[in-house]
A and B are shown apart, each in its own frame.
Chain A
Amino acid sequence: MMGENVLRAARYPFLPEAREFISRNIDLSLESLEKTGSEAALKRAVERVKNSLIFKEVKVTALDELNYVREMLSFPIAIILVSMIMNEYVRRMYALGESRGAYRRMLNESVETLLYIGEKMGVGGVLEDENTIRVKIPTYLRLAYSFHAPHWKLVNRAVNNGYVTMGKTEYARLIQVEVNNYVYEKTLEPVPPGAVPDIFRKAADEIVELWNRLETGKASRIPLKEREDTPPCIGRIIRRMENGENASHFERLVVATFMIARNRNIEEIIEFFSKQPDYKYSVTKYQVEHLAGIRGGGKKYSVPSCRTILTNGLCYPDEYCKGVKHPLRYGEKNVAGEPRIS
Chain B
Amino acid sequence: MLQASLEFLKREFFKYYYENISRLVPPEPIRSREFGFFLEKGRGMFRHKCFNSLKDFHEFILNAIPLDIYVSAANYEDPGNRDMSEKKLVNAELFFDIDAESVAAVSEEESAWICQKCGQYGIGLIDRCSSCNSPTELVRLVSEKQLKEALRETEKLIHVLTEDFGIAPENIHVFYSGNRGYHVHVNQEDFLNITGEGRREIVDYLLIQGLDEKELLNFLKKGANIEGVSFKGVKRRVYMRILEKAGSMEKLKASGRETVLKTLVNAVEELKVRIDPVVTIDMHRLMRMPESINSSSGMVKRRIRLEDLPSFKPLEEAIAFGDEEACLKVKIVPRFSLGGKTFGPFKDEEVELPAYAAVYIVCKGLGEYAGR
Interface residues of A (CB under 8 A from B): 128, 132, 136-138, 141-142, 145, 150-151, 153-163, 165, 307-308, 310-311, 313, 315
Contact = CB atoms under 8 A, between A and B. Distances in A.
A191 to B, nearest CB: 27
Given A145-B198, A310-B204, A311-B204, A157 B210 contact: no
B208 A155 contact: yes
Interface residues of B, number: 34
Interface in B106-136: none
B197 interface: yes
B166 A161 contact: yes
Interface string B205-220: 1001111100100000
Contacts of A136: 190
Contact of B194 (A138, A153, A160, A307): A138
A165 B231 CA distance: 10
B209 A311 contact: yes
B345 interface: no
Interface in B228-244: 229-236
A156 B164 contact: no
Given A310-B210, A311-B277, A158 B229 contact: yes
A145 B195 contact: yes
Contacts of B195: 141-142, 145
Interface in B151-182: 163-167
Nearest to B189: A138
A151 B233 contact: no
Nearest to A152: B201
Contacts of B202: 141, 154
B193 interface: yes
Given A154-B204, A311-B210, 15 more contacts: A145-B200, A150-B212, A155-B208, A155-B234, A159-B232, A160-B163, A160-B164, A160-B166, A161-B163, A161-B164, A163-B166, A165-B232, A310-B210, A311-B203, A311-B277
A128 B229 CA distance: 10
B190 A157 contact: no
B191 interface: yes
30 contacts: A137-B165, A137-B166, A138-B190, A138-B198, A141-B194, A142-B193, A145-B197, A150-B210, A151-B212, A155-B210, A155-B235, A156-B211, A157-B233, A158-B230, A158-B232, A159-B205, A159-B234, A160-B166, A160-B232, A161-B163, A162-B165, A162-B166, A162-B167, A163-B166, A307-B197, A308-B200, A311-B204, A311-B210, A313-B209, A315-B210
A157 B234 CA distance: 8
Contacts of B205: 154-155, 159
A137 B232 CA distance: 14
B164 A159 contact: yes
Contact of A145 (B163, B201, B229): B201
A154 B198 CA distance: 9
Given A137-B166, A159-B164, A132 B229 contact: yes
A260 B229 CA distance: 46
Given A310-B209, A315-B210, A158 B198 contact: no
A317 to B, nearest CB: 10
Nearest to A155: B205
Contacts of A157: 233, 235
Contact of B198 (A128, A141, A150, A159): A141
Given A137-B166, A138-B198, A141-B202, A156 B235 contact: yes
Given A307-B197, A311-B204, A159 B165 contact: yes
Contacts of B201: 141, 145, 153-155
A207 B82 CA distance: 45
